[in-house]
Amino acid sequence: MSTRRKLVAGNWKMNGSLVANEALVAGLVAGLGEVACDVMVCPPFPYLAQLRSLLAATPIGLGAQTLSEHPVGAFTGEVEAGMLRELGCRYVLVGHSERRSLFGETDAAVAAKFVAAQGAGLVPVLCVGETLAEREAGLTEQVVSRQLQAVLDLAGFAAFTSALVAYEPVWAIGTGRTASPQQAQAVHAHIRGLLAAGNEAVAAGVSILYGGSVKPQNALELFGQEDIDGGLIGGASLVADDFLAICRAAN
Ligand code: PGA
């Protein structure tokens, strides 16, 4: 068993409201007593200030779902890393597959966002993962390697002492179709191996989360794998009891 601390992260995506967020956090806080892992949630940008105050007296960390790779300036509609820090974020997702596929984020842009996040003291959660077509073509390791390498080229291996990786097979996100624990473990081990090739200590210490239709029913077996250090949870993070059950599975 590894000594890495487990983390369960909630990616709320474009969901929530002032009222719903308050109820969800109240539900989470009520059940946190039985949770031993680290927990964080990523609400949409407009709710960061609300969540900062709702989470202030709790151990739940705050994260954002993306950030700009640019510094402050004329970038209408963008949000930069320092702003996220000021609003109490500790984490930020980088390169979520929805950002890559729907908003055209390239490997290079994702790498630049990763560096911008660390530059402001945020912990980036680098999301990688293959599409169904890529998996069926036997390209899973190649795709994940390419996505990781783009960040390594810009940020270096040591940058992963203060970053996390999330393996999220695109075909498993929001589809109800989960990677089997063995499929996920194989890719997690591959990712750790890529990092170990450059720095063994960094590879041993970095937490690699699994994401893609994690539910209370499958979390225990996934989190029991040697190289799976927790989860990045979408749909199930919007239901307090489900998210808490997933957190307990990481205990
Ligand atoms: P899901 O989403 O749990 O709803 O599959 C995971 C994610 O996109 O991070």
How many Cβ atoms are within 10 Å of 169's Cβ, its own excluded? 28
pTM: 0.97
Does 244 reside within a domain?
no
φ/ψ region of 230 (left if φ > 0, alpha if ψ in -120 to 50, else beta) reads left
Q: Which residue CA neighbors atom 7 of ligand 1 most closely?
A: 234
CATH number at residue 80: 3.20.20.70
Burial class from Cβ neighbours inside 10 Å (0-12, 13-18, 19+) for residue 139 reads middle
CA of residue 173 to ligand 1 center, whole Å: 5
Query: How many domains, in total, are found in the chain?
Result: 1
- The verdict on residue 16 lying in a domain is yes
Kindly report the number of other CB atoms within 10 A of residue 141's CB atom.
Answer: 15
- Rounded to whole angstroms, the Cα distance separating 28 from 66 reads 23
Residue range 20-60, pLDDT digits in tens: 999 999 999 999 999 999 999 999 999 999 999 999 999 99
Domain assignment present for 1: no
Q: Is residue 240 part of a domain?
A: no
**CA–CA separation, 150 and 147 (whole Å):** 6
Does 249 map to a domain? no
Name the closest-CA residue to atom 9, ligand 1: 234
Q: Does residue 245 fall inside a structural domain?
A: no
Confirm or reject: Cβ of 11 under 6 Å from ligand 1.
yes
Write a three-state SS string for 184-228: HHHHHHHHHHHHHHHCHHHHHHCCEEEECCCCHHHHHHHHCCCCC
Residue 239 counted as domain residue: no
User: What Rg value do the Cα atoms of the chain yield, rounded?
Assistant: 17
* Ligand 1 lined by 173 (C-beta under 6 Å): yes
Range of the domain at 86: 7-233
Q: pLDDT truncated to tens, each residue of the chain (251 aa)?
A: 578 989 999 999 999 999 999 999 999 999 999 999 999 999 999 999 999 999 999 999 999 999 999 999 999 999 999 999 999 999 999 999 999 999 999 999 999 999 999 999 999 999 999 999 999 999 999 999 999 999 999 999 999 999 999 999 999 998 988 899 999 999 999 999 999 999 999 999 999 999 999 999 999 999 999 999 999 999 999 999 999 999 999 98
Q: Cα torsion for 170, 62, 237, 161, to the nearest 10°? A: 50
Asked if the structure places residue 250 within a domain, the reply is no
